[in-house]
Amino acid sequence: MGATIGIDLGTTNSCMAAMEGGRVTIIPNAEGERTTPSVVAFSKEGERLVGSIAQRQAVVNPDRTISSVKRHMGSKWKTRVDGKSFTPQEISAMILRKMRRDAEQYLGRDVTDAVITVPAYFDDSQRQATKDAGRIAGLNVLRIINEPTSAALAYGLDNGTPQKVMVYDLGGGTFDVSIIEIGDDVIEVLATSGDNHLGGDDFDERLVDHIVQEFKREQGEDLHRNAMAMQRVMEAAEQAKKELSAGFSTQINLPFISQNSQGPVHLDMTVTRAEFEQMTRDLVERTTAPVRMALDDAGIASSELGCVLLVGGSTRIPAVQEHVRRITGKEPSASVNPDECVATGAAIQGDTLSGATTGIVRSNSLLLLDVTPLSLSIETVGGVATRLVERNSTLPVHYSKTFSTAASFQTSVEIKVLQGERPMAKDNKAIGTFRLKGIKRAPAGVPQIEVTFDIDANGILTVSAKDLDTGKEQSITIDDSDRMSDDEVQQAINDAEEYAEEDEFRRATMEVRQRAEKLLSEVDSALSAAGKQLEKSEKKQVKADAAELRRVLMRRPSKKERADPEEEGRRIVVAAEKLDRSSARLRELVAQQQSS
């Protein structure tokens, strides 16, 4: 029987682990290292290099060396080498293939299955791309799980006391924060948030820019024009960042970095921790909003947290640790290795899913409950996004709601599925559309159409619609490739916060409009049924008020009204109230007729 391993496929470094003899073992690679650089290179002879060997030759071969490919997962990014294009999945598969091969050599048997971790805020296309990379590498991917969840699993194994924990995960390319409740044999994600474009690479980039600018100021040379020099600077910046986590200053010395008319030019400068913290302060501050959002969504205060776990190599930066203390009021836990805990948790989950219980207490009955990162809705009358699944709902999800037709005698309806946080459909991402046909002809509001959302543990969404009268049913499975990108996810939340007040006005105006249209419909029906019982002057007034309301509903909003949606709503309310008053007696007559 093949072995199952857990893999933390990181932006900068990757790590793997397995259950051996009832304990989690971090598997070293063929070079004896506990983590593997997520770097792939193509030598001029056509050989593919992965890991440390690829990283070491990057200086002399920068154009044929690929790093941080995780940031491109799920996108259309490609790199071309020797006339062949490679996708992020293919490059990632090369890293995974080496890790699989090294694991087989260490364990002494075939590795067939794996649990691979991803940032909690990865969208479905990125998750699918990661899963595809595993398949390309010859692995049966049992599950894609979130990195913070995996880290909490590793922590909860030795700290099983029921508690709520925050996992603050700042890796090489992404930032995640999750609020997780650890209970008896259950690890439940209460809320998650993050930034898929914030990580150690951004801190390195700030240091690189500083080095290049200082060198240009002192020597008049722009290193950006020299790819080999820039590769050396990037490596030096990464090393300097690590040294500044332990010391208060570091010396960057790169001899023969460039050449001018006077001969070789050397780079020699000192960078202090204070300078580094100044140039990266805004990056650290960017983690504040996701932390607060996750706490708010979980419905808890930071004082209710049992502990804060720091995950990812970038959390070793002193300024990051101090920031966590300041915004949470908690001393971050040092009980987990930030580089290895994610792979550890993946190995535990892999052991559970494979059924190969190893004698570890709690492993054979452990339940992970994750969440969906964005709300799901359908478009209803007036372009409103009617929400069926709230963001941070626990997976799997099964939710049904009954709707009806908006027009009389409809025989079909179009179901538009949306993802996002805005109240109006046009402001959200449309992820699928299908049509339910064969509805029994009936007046508006009579047919009963049940819409159901199902999301399984892997995040695959299926939407179905059923006419409860005829039994006719239609459904659609939303493929991963149709989901939102990480940028769209973050933009959806940012937009929801920025335009929350304006959106509320628009939604309120739409509700006012719908009530006005309903009133018009009732008045038209009443005039047909009992109009002759009204005095001529009353009937004339009702018709005039109805015509006025129609004009208000049909007129195009002015520039001022478009800028102030509340103004449009006020106009409709005034006209509707006028018609409501003048038609009150008419509607009473109709009600009396119907009761008799």
Q: Which residues are catalytic?
A: 8, 70, 147, 169
For residues 178 and 582, what is the distance between their CA atoms, to the nearest angstrom?
A: 57
Report the sign of the C-alpha dihedral through residues 582, 584, 586, 587, in that order.
positive
Supply the angle between the helices 227-246 and 200-219 in degrees, to the nearest 10: 120
- Token pair 């916060």 is at which residue? 497
Cβ proximity of 421 and 427 under 8 Å: no
Q: Whose CA is closest to 392, among 126, 129, 146?
A: 146
Q: How many CA atoms lie within 13 A of 236 on its CB side?
A: 24
Helix residue ranges, H only, 121-181: 124-136, 147-158
For residues 370 and 396, what is the distance between their CA atoms, to the nearest angstrom?
A: 8
Report the sign of the C-alpha dihedral through residues 132, 133, 136, 140, in that order.
negative
Residue 281 gets the label, from left (phi > 0), alpha (psi -120 to 50) or beta, of: alpha
Q: Whose CA is closest to 192, among 62, 373, 402, 40?
A: 373
Q: Whose CA is closest to 115, among 457, 391, 485, 373?
A: 457
Dihedral of the alpha carbons of 571, 577, 582, 585, in degrees to the nearest 10: 160
Token code pair at residue 465: 């619609």
Cβ proximity of 135 and 160 under 8 Å: no
φ and ψ of 231, to 5 deg: -65, -40
Return the number of other C-beta atoms located less than 10 Å from residue 203's C-beta: 25
Report the sign of the C-alpha dihedral through residues 229, 231, 232, 236, in that order.
positive
Cβ proximity of 508 and 573 under 8 Å: no
Token code pair at residue 283: 């990056």
Cβ proximity of 312 and 171 under 8 Å: yes
Cβ proximity of 527 and 545 under 8 Å: no
List the Cα angle 499/124/75 in 5-degree steps.
90
Q: To the nearest 5 percent, what fractions of the chain are helix, strand and coil?
A: 45, 30, 25
User: Taking the CA atoms of the chain, what radius of gyration do you get in angstroms?
Assistant: 30
| DSSP calls for 190-210 | EEEEEETT-SHHHHHHHHHHH
Residue 364 contacts by C-beta under 8 Å, 6 or more apart in sequence?
352, 357
For residues 304 and 595, what is the distance between their CA atoms, to the nearest angstrom?
A: 59
The gap from C-alpha 36 to its chain's centroid, in whole angstroms, comes to 26
